[in-house]
Structure 1
Amino acid sequence: MRIGITGATGFIGRHLSASARKQGHEVVAYSRRLGSGLTQPKEAPHALPETKLDALVHLSGESLLGFWTHEKRDRIWKSRVDFTEALVAHLAKWKPENRPKALVCASGAGFYGNSGTELVDESAPRGEGFLADVCAGWEKAALRAESLGMRVILLRTGMVLGTDGGAFPLLKRVFGLGLGGRLGAGTQGMAWIHIDDAVGLILKSIETESVRGPVNLCAPEAVTNAEFTQQLAAVLKRPAFFHAPAFALKLLLRGMAEEMLLGGQRVIPRVATEMGYGFAHLTLSGALKALV
């Protein structure tokens, strides 16, 4: 297949491009990063030149990390919701024979809001909060591609663990210094997935024509923040005493802390199981040992 990837120089995009090529697919890579040598959509999807694609994987968007000022929230919304709306409108102008048969759009487990201790799969309703609003708007924009005859897949992604990107390198340094610990009470869920399974599940979703709609991009083992903390500390053979009190996180990070750090979801990948995807890393301890 010929697979286009926006955000191709990002953490997931790099691994997805490499894995797709290894499996014999042709990759058309797009990136906003100047000097990457790839086609540059920059801030506007009309910079994606028309070319025949079997699938388009849309991964680009403003990072969620940082202080959630009004300007930061605006950039998050525009780079995800507004950009995706414009992208679908741009694809509508392509010749029908060139349009991708499948649009795979990134979303997030934040769609479910703070689900507490409840296990949630793809049938669970939308939650509350800024992240839930962003994910819902993002998915609604992507689903407009269905009117163009495209199969739309929505990747509700948890924390992707890898050695060369995402949160894991920072966590490894902090815990390696013995400065790790749980966040708040530690009872909030943490949806996670190893990078190898993340890209494997994306490609499996593209190849499985019956798959459409939301796909939870997470491992089968649902854990809490306290369990994640304990297992990472154990793998690194370091203590994890320095837990961050909820009030301090709220004071320092405000909205970001409450939704990304103190809230969470215990997500299970029902669709991945139904499509027969075989996870290489079923348990958190196994994934962490492989990374370390």
Structure 2
Amino acid sequence: MRIGITGATGFIGRHLGLLARDSGHDVIAYTRQAGSFVLISKETLYQSGNVPHALPETNLDALVHLSGESLMGLWTAEKRKRIWQSRVDFTAALVAHLATWKPENRPKVLVCASGAGFYGDSGDEPVDEDSSRGEGFLADVCVGWERAALSAETLGMRVVLLRSGMVLGPTGGAFPLLKRVFGLGLGGRLGSGKQWMAWIHVEDAVRIILKAIETETVRGPVNLCAPGAVTNAEFTAKLAAALKRPAFFHAPAFVLKLLLRGMAEEMLLGGQRVIPRVATEIGYGFEHPTLAGAFKALV
């Protein structure tokens, strides 16, 4: 298959490109980073420019759309605007651009990033792909994001929506920072520590994405999370144990809210107990089903 990836120089994009290449697929990497270079395809196929307007028409079997503004940082009005535009507006523009391609060249499947934030703060209630949306800014973004991607169905594309949790990897995502903080003995739970955390090892994340591309019956939301969701307190304890470091520090909820505003309440103090039902139903076997095992592999 010929697979295009936007955000190909990002953390997940790089891993996905390498896996797809090693699995025998041709990969076209798209990036908005001028002057950057990525080698992940047999033919070193590379495109740069302002995606989607500079996305050149070519024959694709699949397009994986991963690019978007980072959620980290203060959620000022300007930051929220960039998050919305880079996800919702950008995806709508991408689909509109694909509509200008000849039908025979359009991707057969569009795989679009989304997030477990779709479910809002679900408390202790388990949620799967059939669960309803939650409340909050992230839920609003995910709903708009997914709606924009689903408009590709009118072009005859199969659409897959990746509702991902925290993706853990040795060289990207949150893990390198967490490793440094906990390595200094400064780790600890956030708030009450009772909030649930959806997580997945990057190896499992990209394998599920590739399986979703290759499995024609998969469409709609796919929870990109491991089966072993944990609370923040459990996450803290297991990471500290893996690094053999103490985790005595506790970040009170009021301090996080004061410093990080909306981001703290939705990303750090709220959470989702996510079940990867679709991944299990299509027969995916997790390489890292438990957090302790994932941390052991990462450390």
Could you state the TM-score of these two structures normalised by the residue count of structure 1?
0.99
2:162 maps to which of 131, 155, 161: 155
Q: What SS does the aligned partner of 2:142 have?
A: helix
Match of 2:179 in 1: 172
Check the 8 A contact 2:33/2:49 in 1, yes or no: no
Provide, for residues 173-216 of structure 1, a one-character-per-residue CA deviation record: whole Å limited to 9, x for no partner: 10111100000001111100000000000000001100000000
CA distance in 2, matches of 1:40, 1:189: 38
1:132 maps to which of 126, 135, 139: 139
Provide, for residues 210-242 of structure 1, a one-character-per-residue CA deviation record: whole Å limited to 9, x for no partner: 000000000010111111001000111111110
Letter in 2 for 1:289: K
Q: What SS does the aligned partner of 1:79 have?
A: helix
Letter in 1 for 2:260: L
Letter in 2 for 1:29: A
CA distance in 2, matches of 1:98, 1:32: 22
Match of 2:6 in 1: 6
CA distance in 1, matches of 2:123, 2:175: 23
How far apart are 1:244 and its partner, in Å? 0.3
Provide, for residues 34-56 of structure 1, a one-character-per-residue CA deviation record: whole Å limited to 9, x for no partner: 111441242x4121000000000
Provide, for residues 47-77 of structure 1, a one-character-per-residue CA deviation record: whole Å limited to 9, x for no partner: 1000000000000000000110100000000
2:264 maps to which of 247, 257, 262: 257
Match of 1:145 in 2: 152
Aligned length: 291
Q: What SS does the aligned partner of 1:257 have?
A: helix
Say yes or no: does 1:208 pair with 2:209: no
Letter in 1 for 2:48: Q
Q: What SS does the aligned partner of 1:47 have?
A: coil
1:191 maps to which of 188, 193, 198: 198
Provide, for residues 231-289 of structure 1, a one-character-per-residue CA deviation record: whole Å limited to 9, x for no partner: 00011111111010000000000000000000110101000000001110010000000
1:50 maps to which of 48, 51, 57: 57
2:293 maps to which of 261, 286, 289: 286
Provide, for residues 67-114 of structure 1, a one-character-per-residue CA deviation record: whole Å limited to 9, x for no partner: 101000000000000000000000001000000000000000000000
Q: What SS does the aligned partner of 2:89 have?
A: helix
CA distance in 2, matches of 1:53, 1:265: 35
- The within-5 A match list for 1:88-103 is 88-103=95-110
CA distance in 2, matches of 1:118, 1:288: 25
Match of 1:39 in 2: 47
CA distance in 1, matches of 2:74, 2:227: 31
Q: Which 5+ residue runs of structure 1 have no aligned equivalent?
A: none
Q: What SS does the aligned partner of 2:295 have?
A: helix
Q: What SS does the aligned partner of 1:4 have?
A: strand
Letter in 2 for 1:178: G
How far apart are 1:22 and its partner, in Å? 0.3
Q: What SS does the aligned partner of 2:159 have?
A: strand
Q: What SS does the aligned partner of 1:193 have?
A: strand
Say yes or no: does 1:231 pair with 2:238: yes
Supply the RMSD in Å over aligned alpha carbons: 0.7
Match of 1:118 in 2: 125
Flag the 1:189–1:41 CA change in 2: closer, same or farther, 3 A. Answer: farther
How far apart are 1:24 and its partner, in Å? 0.4
Q: What SS does the aligned partner of 1:179 have?
A: coil
Match of 2:277 in 1: 270
CA distance in 1, matches of 2:222, 2:49: 26
- Identity, in percent, stands at 80
CA distance in 1, matches of 2:186, 2:125: 29
Task: Please identify runs of 4+ aligned residues in structure 1 that moved more than 3 A.
Answer: none
CA distance in 2, matches of 1:281, 1:71: 37
CA distance in 2, matches of 1:238, 1:214: 38
